[in-house]
Amino acid sequence: MTLQRLLLAAGAASVLVAFATPGGTPPLAEQDTASSPDARALYMEHCASCHGETGDGKGNEELERPARSFLLGGYSYGNTQNAVRRSVLHGIPGTPMPAFGATLGTDEINAVADYVISLGPPGTIVQPGESVLVVEDRPMVVKGMMPAYEQGTFREPRSLIVGFPSGTTFQFRAEDGRLLTVRQGEFLDRRDWGGRGGAELQPLGTLTWKASRASRDFTEFADAKTGKGLRRKVKRTEIKGDDVWIHFDLLDEAGDRVGGGQEFLSFLMVNDVPVPMRAILGSGEGREIGLRELPGKKGRASNSIDVTTTSNGLVACVLDDAPNMRIYLHAPAWTPSLAASFLASLQKKD
């Protein structure tokens, strides 16, 4: 399903209908398996313009920052064979590296990944340890203790960590579903399996976004009559195919349930690069609720969407037809390409 279906779901009274990734994980292209793919030819066709014919990162494509040199043997998602393959399949969010899942077949992606590895020095690729969790063909949800993500903060004794095959990991506070961090790369080293437990999970990806103090204290929904914020309480998580939903109750100051909702984790494809996207929907039960105003730079898109660009690298969209739904895009600005992809996803039918 698409964002068009999400819009319909958001207007369906108290029933929050789930929706799937708009242009999310692309299907692998069909491929003739009669012969083995020519890895170097594929590399020259799809990779050399940025990474150079020898893999030195000196291609002829003009980029905002230099492409990675494969000769050095360092890779964005980590030095495992699965990590390199993931980069080719899903692209790398926040960079010009596109996803080739809809362009190349499985054997071709494997061939390109192996060829890239062959350009690096011997011994570059390592095998993950037994305690390392690897996200393969569908999302993974793990609960446990996480270390402090910045100086001056405390470790999180109860975190909800969601990993995607694209290499994106979301860390939420397990109790109220507040997003704390987003990382890119390998998933987790589950060292808490040893001994009597109580050890921290070790995130393996690179931190790409972290909650500010203001965002950690922000409550998404409020009582429409009193204006007082409503607290979320996570009920359960659900994985369906490529999609992850976090279901929650909405509680008032007294701790009484006054509504519920869900947060959906997905990706918006922008120029073949996946941009992390979260949609939060809520509805009241016997009490009217609404979204609280989000601080940031305000704007309008297509005469029907309120757009807020926050100071901590988020673009938030609220559609006129779905006033109790806010869609967060993890992007620093509402660029023409981001706007075009978002608007197109609203028009795209299943």
Average pLDDT, 10 consecutive residues per value, the chain (350 residues): 55 36 44 70 90 89 82 69 82 81 87 86 65 85 84 74 92 93 89 57 89 82 92 92 92 93 92 91 91 93 93 93 94 93 80
Number of domain units in the chain: 3
Residues 188 and 74 in one domain: no
Residues 181 and 224 in one domain: no
Which domain CATH number covers 97?
Answer: 1.10.760.10
Determine how many CB atoms are found less than 10 A away from the CB of residue 301. 14
What letter represents residue 41's amino acid?
A
Domain boundary among 207, 229, 247: 207
In a domain, 312, yes or no: yes
Q: Report the pLDDT value the prediction gives residue 29, as an integer from 0 to 100.
A: 53
Residues 201 and 225 in one domain: no
By three-state DSSP, how is residue 314 classified? coil
Residues 15 and 56 in one domain: no
Answer whether 88's CB lies under 8 Å from 104's CB: yes
In a domain, 129, yes or no: no
In a domain, 130, yes or no: no
- How many Å apart are CA 35 and CA 228, to the nearest integer? 65
Residues 236 and 330 in one domain: yes
- Helix ranges (H only) for the chain are 3-10, 39-46, 48-51, 81-90, 106-119, 213-217, 336-347
Q: Report the pLDDT value the prediction gives residue 36, as an integer from 0 to 100.
A: 78
In a domain, 270, yes or no: yes
Tens of pLDDT along 133-192? Answer: 888 888 999 988 888 877 666 667 789 999 998 889 999 999 999 999 999 988 988 765
Q: Report the pLDDT value the prediction gives residue 182, as an integer from 0 to 100.
A: 94
Residues 229 and 182 in one domain: no
In a domain, 8, yes or no: yes
Supply the DSSP symbol for 110: H
Residues 55 and 166 in one domain: no
Structure tokens at 252: 């008032």
In a domain, 109, yes or no: yes
Supply the DSSP symbol for 288: -
Domain of 74, in residue numbers: 39-119
Residues 65 and 9 in one domain: no
Residues 189 and 73 in one domain: no
In a domain, 212, yes or no: no
Beta strands in the chain (DSSP E): 132-133, 140-146, 156-163, 168-173, 179-184, 188-189, 202-203, 206-210, 221-223, 229-240, 243-251, 257-270, 273-284, 289-291, 297-301, 305-309, 315-319, 325-329
Q: Report the pLDDT value the prediction gives residue 147, as an integer from 0 to 100.
A: 83
Determine how many CB atoms are found less than 10 A away from the CB of residue 105. 17
Taking alpha carbons only, the member of 133, 113, 112, 108 closest to residue 124 is 113
Residues 147 and 196 in one domain: yes
Domain boundary among 93, 119, 145: 119
Residues 59 and 18 in one domain: no
Residues 229 and 324 in one domain: yes
- The mean of the pLDDT values for the chain is 82
